[in-house]
Amino acid sequence: MQRTKIVDLLRRTDFGATVCVKGWVRTRRGSKSVNFIALNDGSTILNVQVVADVEKFDPEMLKLITTGACLAVEGTLVESQGAGQSVEVQATAIEVLGTCGSDYPMQKKGQTFEYMRQHAHMRLRTNTFGAVFRIRHNMAMAIHRYFHEHGFFYFNTPIITASDCEGAGQMFQVTTQNLYDLKHTEDGKIDYSNDFFGKTTSLTVSGQLEGELGATALGAIYTFGPTFRAENSNTPRHLAEFWMIEPEVAFYDINDNMDLAEDFIKYCVRWALDNCQDDLAFLNKMVDKTLLDRLHFVVEHDFVRLTYTEGIKILEEAIAGGRKFEFPVHWGIDLASEHERYLVEEHFKKPVILTDYPKEIKAFYMKLNEDGKTVRAMDVLFPQIGEIIGGSEREESYEKLMARIEELDIPMKDMWWYLDTRRFGTCPHSGFGLGFERLILFVTGMQNIRDVIPFPRTPKSADF
């Protein structure tokens, strides 16, 4: 018999119909005469209640219906008498597809998130992680829809690359060389000429540089792919492998770029509110009681826009007024998370877009302002998260870009193709990168980035 997904079954009203559901047992309770089995198949956070009259079934089979076991149930769809559910299934046949022993790691309720991480292969079957990963899927769909509806082309950039986009030296090297028998050149350096690509290669930290090639040909593109950073930051907001969305648009200046970022992120949050109601209601109840309020707030309010210099002034005034920070504040610092969150959560109580940062703390490709000190950078700062988006208007002048590259001593050998965009029909253009997991953190109210990607990669941790 054709199986019905629980998400569809719960909407049906053709009581009396014979139905088939398959899924995993969440709980089983009951008396000598009747058993109630809560079954979940992952299609929704909601369970369907299966009612089994004990006398109709083999007692040995019923014993196998334990938490975590996998069942196929046939029965009659009936209107539910119980509160909080519309339909239930009066079982006529139950097959145990997979038994589940008492060592099932998700058996006990109320485990810590750290325990869940150690059992990441099984945590997917819990309510919380089911909700998170259904929302994650919905956010991916929202992102593709937003850009498709706005005339952007989905553009795939390479994962293996020879250039360090952010210039931060945080790349994972890719090699097929035998590390026990490395060949060296005469001057003692490792000889890459016989390596797979004939040169040093790494996993990309960002698709932006190739994205700029796409934007200056197709007009407006976006990437959506995995990126890798070997930064040794053990924080609740950093992963070594994360997904990034990078739109890049020809003829956009920084203001157009900010408008795009704000509109895009609001669209994604609205999508979650419209399409993930059951999962959000669960997370709002169990994980973070202010979640729904925060999501509505972001959709309904304009983001504050101010310059880095103005931001520093506000922080300095706060310090003068007695506010304590762990890290010192003065013009030129790279803002710490505590500074960003002060501006967003305490001072403005709104998302903030900070612009025009000192050039020393930003990447080489950002457009230099007329003051010669700041660049046309823009970071979007969010409550609870801090930086969720980083972007800029790009330096379109070949001469100015070359000057920056020389100033920073960036190896030119592998950058010739990027510089060609500035030699052949250069144009003003802008773009940004949204950290996908940081968006999911915001939308789910989860506290740790390791809990919004199925199998997190962090320093000293690459299980599963």
Q: Restricting to residues 374-413, which ones interact with Mg ion according to CB under 5 A?
A: 390
DSSP helix/strand/coil, 51: strand
Stretch that binds ligand 4AD, among 95-103, 237-245, 348-356, 412-420 (CB under 6 A): 237-245
Q: Is residue 387 within the footprint of ligand 4AD (CB under 6 A)?
A: yes
Q: Which x/- pattern over 176-215 shows residues binding ligand 4AD (rule: CB under 6 A)?
A: ------------------------------x-x-------
How many residues touch ligand 4AD (CB under 6 A)? 22
Distance between CA atoms of residues 260 and 348, nearest Å? 21
Reduced 3-state DSSP string for 183-212: CECCCCCECCCCCCCCCCEEECCCCHHHHH
239 binds ligand 4AD (CB under 6 A): yes
Decide: is 456 part of the binding site for Mg ion (CB under 5 A).
no
The correct pick among 155, 242, 271, 308 for binding ligand 4AD (CB under 6 A) is 242
Shortest distance (Å) from residue 88 CB to ligand 4AD: 43
Measured distance CA(72)–CA(57) in Å, rounded: 14
Q: Does 257 bind ligand 4AD (CB under 6 A)?
A: no
Two tokens, residue 45: 């956070």
Burial of 18 (0-12, 13-18, 19+ CB in 10 A): exposed
**Number of residues counted as binding Mg ion (CB under 5 A):** 1
- Residue 292 beta carbon to ligand 4AD: minimum distance, rounded to whole angstroms: 23
438 binds, among Mg ion, ligand 4AD, none (CB under 5 to 8 A by kind): ligand 4AD
What is the DSSP pairing of strand 304-307 with strand 352-358? parallel
CB of 349 to ligand 4AD, least distance (A): 21
Should residue 229 be labelled a site residue for ligand 4AD when binding is judged by CB under 6 A?
yes
Checking 190-197 for CB contacts under 8 A at 24+ apart, the result is 197/160, 197/162
Residue 166 binds ligand 4AD, judged by CB under 6 A: yes
- Which CB, 130 or 391, lies closer to Mg ion? 391
Q: Which of 195, 279, 356, 437 binds ligand 4AD (CB under 6 A)?
A: 437
Q: Which amino acid is at 445?
A: G
Q: Name residue, tokens 């060609």.
A: 420
Please state the separation of Cα 265 from the chain's center in Å.
13
Residue whose CB is less far from Mg ion, 383 or 390 = 390
Contacted by 214, from Mg ion, ligand 4AD, none: CB < 5 to 8 Å by type:
none
Compare residues 313 and 350 and give the one whose CB is closer to ligand 4AD: 350
Between the alpha carbon of residue 413 and those of residues 165, 196, 324, 400, 410, the distances in Å are: 14, 19, 46, 18, 9
The secondary structure of 326-359 as a DSSP string is SS---TTPPPPHHHHHIIIIIIISS-EEEEEEEG
Structural element, H or E, at residue 134: helix 127-149
Report how far residue 313's alpha carbon sits from residue 450's, in angstroms, rounded to the nearest whole number: 34
Binding of Mg ion at residue 431 (CB under 5 A)? no
Place of tokens 């959560």: 345
CB of 154 to ligand 4AD, least distance (A): 15
Nearest-approach distance from CB 47 to ligand 4AD, in angstroms: 33
Does 433 sit near Mg ion (CB under 5 A)? no
Q: What is the DSSP letter of 457?
A: -
171 is a contact residue toward ligand 4AD (CB under 6 A):
no
Residues engaged in binding Mg ion (CB under 5 A): 390
Residues engaged in binding ligand 4AD (CB under 6 A): 165-166, 206, 208, 229, 231, 238-239, 242, 244, 246, 387-391, 431-433, 435, 437-438
